[in-house]
Structure 1
Amino acid sequence: MPIPDFIKSLRSKIGTELLQVPTAAVLVHDDQGRLLLVQDNRSGQWGLPSGIIDPHELPSDAAVRETWEEAGVFVQLTHLLGVFAGEHFSHVYDNGDQLAVVSTVFAARVVRGTPHGDDEETSDARFFSPAEIDSLPCARYFLVIRKAISQNQSRAYFKPATWQPPDV
């Protein structure tokens, strides 16, 4: 993914230290119930259209923008699916940059456009049936989201809190 200017500025000050950033991701289903996935140019893995939320940008705007940029599809968000973070949402890049994300995940429907990769971040974008997804090399963050969403369809997902105050 291209590095946003504000991240480049931070990196010039802190080097490769761990940054936690907000991201937005989108689950887009077509009329046949297939899910839109994008293929990462570098890894070849499939995942959701997603990306870093720019400073002062709404998560919903970032979700719509990223789906357009990465998959060539303009979407209308329908509801919030959940908020995700943790070990499966961290990455160390080849240059040593460490990144942890908190991802807001939305459901959406297609307004217009035909899926295609952007040839910068994504090499392909297509709709897949659940059976087809099971045989794809998928990004681990996507597998976590897919499993959580499939088990929790009636309300927005979040991992239950485990923090407790110290004994007094």
Structure 2
Amino acid sequence: MTKTRRIDYWRDPNAPKPTSRKASASVFVTNDDGHLLLLRRADNNLWTIPTGGVKKGETVADAGVRECREETGIEVEVTGLVGVFSTPDHVIVYMHGDKLDEVRQPINVCLRARVLGGALQPDPKESREVRWVDPSQLGDYEIQPAIRRRIDCGLECVEPYIE
């Protein structure tokens, strides 16, 4: 079976031109100790917050809750908005084997959420590892700049960030 690979470009003038735009939801989740929920993606080995595409028939909030449960095993409730991230500086290439599938310029709605239950459990198709991370330790994790921007806004912004 051929695996899908993801290649993220950030502020790269040599990045391929987007062929599509798609809405996605991500969730910024902290526990009672203030640690942030992170997972290591299976398709590019980078650390991220739970994120995924919004499916037909679901709301952005539903997508964020579903993606968090699928990728991490943690059940959450959406409590607010971190921001909307739609900069053309971020382009994602999806490869299926050696074949280019799509070049996407994402539109991401990043939601704040609180833990309702569950246990850390990676999904082998989507996440290699899942863990709670002290924000002071984020520098020790390889995080794509567009994702780090969402995380930083979740940590620092009082008002929702819109771009």
TM-score, shorter chain, exceeding 0.5: yes
- The equivalent of 1:111 in structure 2 is 116
Among candidates 126, 134, 146, match of residue 121 of structure 1: 126
Q: Counting strand residues as a fraction of each chain, which structure ranks higher?
A: 2
Give the Cα–Cα distance (whole angstroms) in 1 for the partners of residues 90 and 28 of structure 2.
Answer: 17
SS at match of 2:39: strand
* Structure 1 runs, 4 residues or longer, greater than 3 Å off: 148-151
Give the Cα–Cα distance (whole angstroms) in 2 for the partners of residues 156 and 108 of structure 1.
Answer: 14
Give the Cα–Cα distance (whole angstroms) in 2 for the partners of residues 35 and 65 of structure 1.
Answer: 18
Structure 2 unmatched runs, 5+: 5-17
SS at match of 1:87: coil
| Higher alpha-carbon Rg | 1
Structure 1 unmatched runs, 5+: 3-16, 160-168
Aligned residues: 145
Q: 5 Å matches for 1:135-150?
A: 135-150=140-155
User: Are 2:134 and 1:133 aligned?
Assistant: no
Q: Counting helix residues as a fraction of each chain, which structure ranks higher?
A: 1
Question: Does the 8 A contact of 1:89 with 1:102 survive in 2?
Answer: no
Matching residue's letter, 1:134: G
Offset from partner CA, 1:91-123 (integer Å, 9 cap, x none): 112332211111111111110111121001111
Question: Does the 8 A contact of 1:88 with 1:140 survive in 2?
Answer: no
Give the Cα–Cα distance (whole angstroms) in 1 for the partners of residues 89 and 142 of structure 2.
Answer: 15
Question: Does the 8 A contact of 2:82 with 2:153 survive in 1?
Answer: no
SS at match of 2:45: coil
- The equivalent of 2:160 in structure 1 is 156
Give the Cα–Cα distance (whole angstroms) in 1 for the partners of residues 30 and 87 of structure 2.
Answer: 26
Deviation at 1:88, TM superposition (A): 4.5
Give the Cα–Cα distance (whole angstroms) in 1 for the partners of residues 152 and 47 of structure 2.
Answer: 15
Please give the root-mean-square deviation of Cα atoms over the aligned residues, in Å. 1.9
Give the Cα–Cα distance (whole angstroms) in 1 for the partners of residues 156 and 113 of structure 2.
Answer: 19
Give the Cα–Cα distance (whole angstroms) in 2 for the partners of residues 112 and 88 of structure 1.
Answer: 36
Deviation at 1:149, TM superposition (A): 3.6
- The equivalent of 1:27 in structure 2 is 28
Q: Which has the higher contact order (CA 8 A, sep 6+)?
A: 2
